[in-house]
Amino acid sequence: MLKLEKRPQPSRAWTYLTPVLAVVVTMLAGGALFAMLGNDPVEAIRTIFWEPLFGEFASYYRPQLLVKAGPLILIAIGLSLGFRAGIWNIGAEGQYIIGAITGAAVGLAFYPVDLWVIFPLMILAGALGGWVWAMIPGLLKVRFGTNEILVSLMLVYVAEQLLAKMALGLLRNPEGRGFPGSRNLQQYPAAHNAEIITGTGMHWGVVAAFIAVIFAYVLLSRHILGHQIQLAGQAPRAARFAGVNPARLTLICLGLSGALAGMAGMFEVSGPAGQISIDFNVGYGFTAIIVAFLGRLHPVGIALAGLLMALTYIGGEIAELNLSLPAAAIQMFQGMLLFFLLAVDVLTNYRVRLRTAEVA
Amino acid sequence: MTGALLTISGLTKAYPGVVANDDVSFDIREGEVHALLGENGAGKSTLVKMIYGLVRPDSGEMQLRGAPFAPAEPRAARAAGVAMVFQHFSLFDAMSVAENIALGMEKPPRLRDLAHRIREVSETYGLPLDPYRTVGGLSAGERQRVEIIRCLLQDPRLLIMDEPTSVLTPQEVDILFQTLRKLTAEGVAILYISHKLEEIRALCDRATILRHGRNVGTCVPSQTTARAMAEMMVGASFAAPARAPHATGAVALDVTGLSMPAPDAFGTALRNIHLQLHEGEILGVGGVAGNGQDELLAALSGERRSTGDAIRLRGRPIGRLGPNARRDLGLLTAPEERLGHAAAPEMSLTENVLLTAARRQNLVSHGFLRWPAARRFAGQVITAFDVRTPGPETAARALSGGNLQKFVIGREVLQQPGILIVNQPTWGVDAAAAAAIRQALLDLAANGTAILCISQDLDELIEISDRFAALNEGRLSEAHATRDLSLEEIGLMMGGAHGMEVAHA
Amino acid sequence: MDLSSISPTLLLASLIVAATPILLAALGELVVERAGVLNLGVEGMMITGAICGFAIAVNTGSPALGFVMAAVGGAALALLFALLTQVALANQVASGLALTLFGLGLSALLGQGYVGIKPPPTGKLDIPMLSDLPFLGRVVFGHDLMVYIALALVAAVWATLKYTRAGLILRAVGENHDAAHALGYKVVRVRILAILFGGACAGLGGAYISLVRVPQWTDGMTAGAGWIALALVVFASWKAGRVLLGAWLFGGITVLQLNLQAAGAAIPVEYLSMSPYLITILVLVIMSADKSRAPASLGRTFHASQ
């Protein structure tokens, strides 16, 4: 009979090992899944994890890695601060959309003026948009005690409707012959979030993501606010005893994660996506939740997890092309990863003991 | 007195790192009150859990009236006639008394019939109780009655009581003892767990004493001195706290007309509290659990804000200040709940000193943490208070209750507070650690610190406090010099407006 | 805009249909939360139920069998959640989110071949005489069996929680799991059963969307219904009767905004479409003033040795 026994201290070794173990188990289970779909499991896993990096067309795929990891990491860093404090913003997708709308709107408002200040203004507007959208659940929680999980999530659906309205209405390209969607910002140099070094996929959003990683690392390991965030998450009563103002912390965490998600949306719309369209959002805000957990809510871990998750996105696309593996399979693969991670996480805090039936 | 009801022989139970019970043997006779005596951590709880079927022994056996007795679960124990009143009541706050009692029975009758039986039993044994009241609104004494009646409705042969008097006023204790004597007269055996020696001498027929999981002897309490039993329990004698005579100084903390609504549905409102705390004195605040102790501490620590004027620190209104602003002024606090309130369980001791000492000990500069300084201060606390731990990087939850309590108190004491508020400073702590903590408080007061000690342990307050006041339903009595008070007067102060006369009228 | 095109009879009848999926899901979640577990995976279990029910109904031609398998599918997914939170002691919030993300992916994968197909129709219960009554016949007696099953389930859950021993034990576990354990009740077993029941209910609710309400299969077709069901439990203060009230309220809003869209109201379609979500938020704000009814152990992990 298996028995769980609480460890006196969380195991440090398992803290690092569990994400790796989860990835391995997911590969095995995913392989089995792909086999059931009639694919060669080894080939499928190889296509997803190997092809984008070292395959025939790696030079094309590698830059995509940063393009996809950038927004994931940026959003996940923000989310991780809240998750550590026990504040569950799961509506990053909505904040991402609103950031894209406000960022793009500022850029489009200047069209076709060419000024250097436009792009920084767009970043600010994107961050502000995401911040405002996250402040709605924040203020409602602080003022009325409303559950932030449900409110932030409801606002995703509201944001999607707003996005549709914008793509079809206010922000529609006047020269677009009535097609939905805004002007393409890639063709407006002052507002274009272009690659900084050609062929690397490195755009300003990726830079922002790495700045966010460093910022979060310093915050969590060296700053009193980081200590308070962790304290509030682990022992809310002790946090109040230590003088932490829970309302203030809620607003800081939600605001920060909203602003980062909004920025991510803005970098995406002005760069890789190019325009506000009905189907602009592809679920980065939700995948970032997986990234945050897979990275153990640790900034460096999140950077690695973001890259890994980006890899599965690209690998999934290749597998869709080469092996006609359905796109949904990758979505499920990512969900499975979070599942297994949570399951093996038990090893960090508990010791599993094998016990023979005892004689009483 | 007849033969043995329950015979325990060679019970052993080990947990990783500790042997909770090591070859324990004794017997309980029908109709006797048998005391199980021992310090915290001596293995009393584990032993009782084995009898009640919550824990299965590694080896050894039990016999109930000569038949082998090995309950696999509490249900089996209850079916065999074993009932238990828990120390931390196993009650459901949002449910009614009758529902709570139904949950403790195998085949409860319909709720209306059950309510009728509850009334019957409560009258027979002098434990008045309304079956339809919500348990969350009951006092500690009333909650215990729910537990006792839950047991009595099953006609138990053996009733286990785990520290039953820790939540009662002296008068309520008398009522409980009368009920228990009535039960033993009917042939029910009672296993009575306690570490209060005088109580055991007054009530129990025999006592078995546990130390470090071993049975170190059985005695007849009425023929044994308290001192002898204490030595058996502790194993060695230790110094009782010494008190240096000293004068008290000016008023350090002045609370006038402090009132606060209850923090939640089952909390207590503070009503018009007045108190003056002088430099160099220890003011003891007694009272039964749940009469506003936590709420008073929260109001004084700054976790809950009041009007500015209600609390003054050396004349300065501080009622609106938060915990850190009060710490800056020299007012430090140590709450009752160690894990989750005074300390974060998953964090290391180094991280835990930051909770209260960040600013006073210069552990932060411009918002950035000075980890080496924090580690050094944690080390100082560990050394000065003899905290047994591998080092400051150990997680708080890995420490034993006594060691963590020494750490929590030490963290405040080493910051040289002008005013120190503590709640239950030695709760659940072994005798040696408790003595060390009390000594630290006395030394601090001798150096001029004003100390407010909230405690439910009357012996403790009598031992260390200069003046004594009692909390009752959120009201604080007037304070009197402790040495002028008799135990009975203290009991009346604690009882306040409690409905004592209803019981055993 | 032509308001006269909105018929009150049809409006009320479709209100009851629109309310049924969230009613079923919320009822299941209510039982789960009364047992002290917060399962945020309702959306994932609903969509899994939606595709399971749809696929089985299409392949066998039997909607009834479809509903049964939808319940099984929802419960199977819930079992994963139960294993994670009750056996591996994982965080309930994170596990619930994982369940939703996983369920969305799984359903999209399973539903690949089913886009654009029409399921076999779920028969309406035609009660002679009653169904022919003017107004009432259409509103009250003109529905399919699932509507009445859902209503019966409300009554059953209400009575079970209030009057039976099983309900008493379930509430005890949700109120104070340590005390329930001390009294010898199997906390983990009770909770796993509650979670499975919640999953089955969510699965039924999902299948009702894909088989009756829409009826067809599209990716992510539950569109937040699972989250609205979660909000409904808060709205209902964890009481079965009030879940019914809340479900009708939300059903009414959904139907009304759809009717307004169809009638060509002056309000843009997007704003009408977001109204159910905005009203959910509004209701949450109003209801969050009273937290006292929530089960005391809600969302806390239970480990016997502690």
B47-80 pLDDT, tens digit each: 998 999 888 899 999 999 888 999 988 888 988 9
Residue C98 within any structural domain of the chain: yes
- Number of other residues whose CB lies within 10 A of the CB of residue C117: 12
In chain A, where the domains are located? 40-324
Summarize the confidence of residues C261-278 as an average pLDDT.
83
Residue B298 within any structural domain of the chain: yes
- Contacts of residue A348 in chain C, CB cutoff 8 Å? none
- Number of other residues whose CB lies within 10 A of the CB of residue A116: 8
Is 90 exceeded by the pLDDT of residue B229?
Answer: no
Domain boundary among B206, B234, B262: B234
- What does the pLDDT read at residue B497? 41
Domain boundary among B234, B254, B276: B234
- Number of other residues whose CB lies within 10 A of the CB of residue B206: 19
CATH code for the domain in which residue B212 is found: 3.40.50.300
Q: Which subunits sit against A, judged by 3+ Cβ pairs under 8 A? A: B, C
Task: Provide the residue range defining the domain that includes C107.
Answer: 3-124+140-287
Contact B378, B330 (CB under 8 A): no
Residue B362 within any structural domain of the chain: no
Tell me which of B88 and B180 has the higher pLDDT: B180
Are B211 and B302 part of one and the same domain?
Answer: no
Residue B383 within any structural domain of the chain: no
Instruction: Tell me whether strands B206-211 and B450-454 are parallel, antiparallel or unpaired.
Output: unpaired
Instruction: Tell me whether strands B480-481 and B475-476 are parallel, antiparallel or unpaired.
Output: unpaired
Are B143 and B228 part of one and the same domain?
Answer: yes
- What does the pLDDT read at residue C141? 67
Are B224 and B210 part of one and the same domain?
Answer: yes
Is 60 exceeded by the pLDDT of residue A273?
Answer: yes
A38 vs chain C: nearest CA distance in angstroms? 13
Using omega within 30 degrees of 0 as the cis cutoff, is the peptide bond preceding B109 cis? no
pLDDT band at C306 (very low <50, low <70, confident <90, very high): very low
Using omega within 30 degrees of 0 as the cis cutoff, is the peptide bond preceding A112 cis? yes
Residue B384 within any structural domain of the chain: no
Structure tokens that stand for B430 in this block: 């072994």
C184 vs chain B: nearest CA distance in angstroms? 5
Structure tokens that stand for C292 in this block: 């006292």
- What does the pLDDT read at residue A212? 96
Structure tokens that stand for B104 in this block: 């403790």
Is 80 exceeded by the pLDDT of residue B253?
Answer: yes
A40-324 topology per CATH: ABC transporter involved in vitamin B12 uptake, BtuC (1.10.3470)
- What does the pLDDT read at residue A77? 97
| pTM, two decimal places | 0.86
Highest mean pLDDT among A191-205, B117-131, B339-353, C127-141: B339-353
Tell me which of C37 and A200 has the higher pLDDT: C37
Is 50 exceeded by the pLDDT of residue B121?
Answer: yes
Residue C248 within any structural domain of the chain: yes
B278-312 pLDDT, tens digit each: 999 999 998 887 788 999 999 999 999 998 889 99
- What does the pLDDT read at residue C304? 66
Task: Provide the residue range defining the domain that includes B276.
Answer: 239-327+467-505
Are B193 and B257 part of one and the same domain?
Answer: no
Is 60 exceeded by the pLDDT of residue B503?
Answer: no
Structure tokens that stand for B102 in this block: 């139904």
Are B211 and B285 part of one and the same domain?
Answer: no
- Contacts of residue C92 in chain A, CB cutoff 8 Å? none
- Contacts of residue B90 in chain C, CB cutoff 8 Å? 176, 178-180, 182-183
Task: Read off the amino acid at residue A297.
Answer: L
CA distance A214 to A193: 22
Contact A194, A271 (CB under 8 A): yes
Nearest neighbour of A335 by CB, restricted to C98, C111, C305: C98
Are B97 and B156 part of one and the same domain?
Answer: yes
Angle between helix C165-175 and helix C145-163 axes, rounded to 10 deg = 70
Mutating which of B18, B103, B135, B147 best tests the C interface, going by the most C Cβ atoms within 10 A? B103
pLDDT band at C124 (very low <50, low <70, confident <90, very high): confident
Cβ distance B93 to C175 less than 8 Å, yes or no, reads yes
Q: Which subunits sit against B, judged by 3+ Cβ pairs under 8 A? A: A, C
Angle between helix C145-163 and helix C8-34 axes, rounded to 10 deg = 40
Please tell me the total count of domains within chain C: 1
Nearest neighbour of B94 by CB, restricted to C169, C180, C296: C296
Is 70 exceeded by the pLDDT of residue C139?
Answer: no
- Number of other residues whose CB lies within 10 A of the CB of residue A347: 20
Summarize the confidence of residues C67-93 as an average pLDDT.
92
Category of B500 on φ-ψ map: left (φ > 0), alpha (ψ -120 to 50) or beta: alpha
Are B31 and B78 part of one and the same domain?
Answer: yes
Domain boundary among B234, B264, B280: B234
CATH code for the domain in which residue C197 is found: 1.10.3470
Are B181 and B290 part of one and the same domain?
Answer: no
Are B179 and B209 part of one and the same domain?
Answer: yes
Structure tokens that stand for A124 in this block: 């600010």
Contact B378, B370 (CB under 8 A): no
Residue B332: CA count within 13 A, CB half-sphere = 26
Residue A6: CA count within 13 A, CB half-sphere = 12
Average pLDDT, chain A: 88
Please tell me the total count of domains within chain B: 2
Are B256 and B209 part of one and the same domain?
Answer: no
pLDDT band at C303 (very low <50, low <70, confident <90, very high): confident
- Contacts of residue C295 in chain B, CB cutoff 8 Å? 94
Beta bridge partners of B421: B333, B452
Cβ distance B94 to C183 less than 8 Å, yes or no, reads no
CA distance A245 to A241: 10
Nearest neighbour of C292 by CB, restricted to B90, B99, B265: B265
Burial class (CB in 10 A: 0-12, 13-18, 19+), C181: buried
pLDDT band at C6 (very low <50, low <70, confident <90, very high): low
B447-483 pLDDT, tens digit each: 999 999 999 888 888 889 999 999 988 899 999 988 8
Contacts of C129 (CB under 8 A, 6+ apart): none
Residue C72 within any structural domain of the chain: yes
Angle between helix A204-222 and helix A58-84 axes, rounded to 10 deg = 30
A285-327 pLDDT, tens digit each: 999 998 998 898 999 999 999 999 999 989 988 888 888 888 7
Are B94 and B137 part of one and the same domain?
Answer: yes
A243-255 pLDDT, tens digit each: 999 999 999 999 9
Q: For residue A54, give the H/E element and its range.
A: helix A51-54
Are B158 and B90 part of one and the same domain?
Answer: yes
Contacts of A112 (CB under 8 A, 6+ apart): A188
Among chain C, residues having any CB pair with chain B shorter than 8 Å are: 165, 168-169, 171-172, 175-176, 178-180, 182-185, 292, 295-296
